[in-house]
Structure 1
Amino acid sequence: MTAEPLSPPPWLTPAAQSLALCLLSNYQRAFGTPLIACLAADASPLLVAQELFAAELVLLAHDGADPSSEPGPRLIYANRAALRLWQRPWPEMVGMPSRLTAEPAERASRRQALLAAQAKEAISGYRGIRIDSRGRRFAIEAARLWTLRDSSGQPCGQAARFSRWWLL
């Protein structure tokens, strides 16, 4: 009897590995510093994807849909820290409209920050209020938002990272 090969977890699929490389390279381009300092420049895509998922900082990304449209951008990535903070498993978090990470009263200011980051390619120092899957509110501070570009240089989404947050 031969064992069936196990499917990789969703954050380690070939598509997720490509996205992890995109997140790293675009962060470096936007801020001039590595997203994960300990990763070697020649790290394999699999190692990059593993390290991003396991990182202590909260990392999210959404697709390139217009933030002013309905339903707006959908999440395409959430690392383990983000999944824990929003109290959602990967299948619930990835694919949902990213606006749902904030409560309705905070969505306009969130949208403005996304549009500013889109216009400037990147912003630092963003702060806002978010809400998890159970309605628990929390503040984020010192977030960085940046534009994701594909291999041909076309915008294909946005990402955010932060490590400062607290419950309200």
Structure 2
Amino acid sequence: MTPPPEPTAELRRRVERVAASFRRLLGRPLLPGAGADTWSALWHAPAVIVAHGTEGDPVFFYGNRLALELFEMDFAAFTRLPSRCSAEPMARAERERLLQRVSRDGYIDDYAGVRISASGRRFRIEQAVVWNLLDADGTQHGQAATFGRWMPLG
């Protein structure tokens, strides 16, 4: 898997917000000992990290190398994908309930569900943390998720 193109300043800010929001909401770092280069740390993280914006049909703006491998996409394709399309059509109502719960509570740390890759390969994620992306003023900029456990399905 090739790395994403050199990030713009705006994309770097958004990715930094992913880590800062996690720390603010959960009271611990997303990546303990990550250092100053958030972009590189998240890209090389030993867990999947994804994030989407606040569009009417939210689109992923970030997926780290592990996410791209799991979803079988390159960075350009992944960052054009509406996040709802990461779930099978029959699982989208469940996913929507999850995102409403995150919007209400700030985060959840117990999500499990089935996702689908670009080739149609299904996998179940477990113990996922999903959280709101908030700036220092509390303005919401999207949602993010991380998980380190998944298993292929049939």
- Which range, TM-score by smaller chain? over 0.9
Structure 1 residue aligned with 2:129: 144
Give the whole-Å Cα distance in 2 for the aligned partners of 1:35 and 1:11.
Answer: 22
Give the whole-Å Cα distance in 1 for the aligned partners of 2:33 and 2:89.
Answer: 37
* Structure 2: runs of 5+ lacking an equivalent: none
Aligned partner letter, 2:48: V
Task: List aligned pairs for 1:8-27, cutoff 5 A.
Answer: 9-10=4-5, 12-27=7-22
Query: In the alignment, does 2:75 pair up with 1:86?
Result: no
Structure 2 residue aligned with 1:135: 120
Q: Relative to 1, partners in 2 of residues 1:9 and 1:134: Cα closer, same or farther, differing over 3 Å? A: closer
SS in 1 for 2:123: strand
Structure 2 residue aligned with 1:58: 48
Structure 2 residue aligned with 1:29: 24
How far is the alpha carbon of 1:64 from its aligned partner? 1.4
Task: List aligned pairs for 1:32-43, cutoff 5 A.
Answer: 32-40=27-35, 43=36
How large is the Cα RMSD of the aligned pairs?
A: 1.5
Deviations 1:79-136 (A, max 9, x none): 0000000000011000211011011011110111011001101011100000000000
Q: Relative to 1, partners in 2 of residues 1:95 and 1:63: Cα closer, same or farther, differing over 3 Å? A: same
Does structure 1 conserve the Cα–Cα contact (< 8 Å) formed by 2:73 and 2:118?
yes
How far is the alpha carbon of 1:150 from its aligned partner? 2.7
Which of 71, 90, 99 in structure 2 is aligned with 1:114?
99
Moved over 4 A (4+): none
Aligned partner letter, 1:166: M
Structure 2 residue aligned with 1:75: 60
Give the whole-Å Cα distance in 1 for the aligned partners of 2:17 and 2:95.
Answer: 23
Question: What is the TM-score with the length of structure 1 in the denominator?
Answer: 0.85
Give the whole-Å Cα distance in 2 for the aligned partners of 1:88 and 1:28.
Answer: 28
* Structure 1: runs of 5+ lacking an equivalent: 1-7, 67-71
Give the whole-Å Cα distance in 1 for the aligned partners of 2:52 and 2:80.
Answer: 9
Q: Identity, % of aligned pairs?
A: 36
SS in 1 for 2:129: strand
Does structure 2 conserve the Cα–Cα contact (< 8 Å) formed by 1:12 and 1:50?
no
Structure 2 residue aligned with 1:5: none
State how many pairs are aligned.
Answer: 151
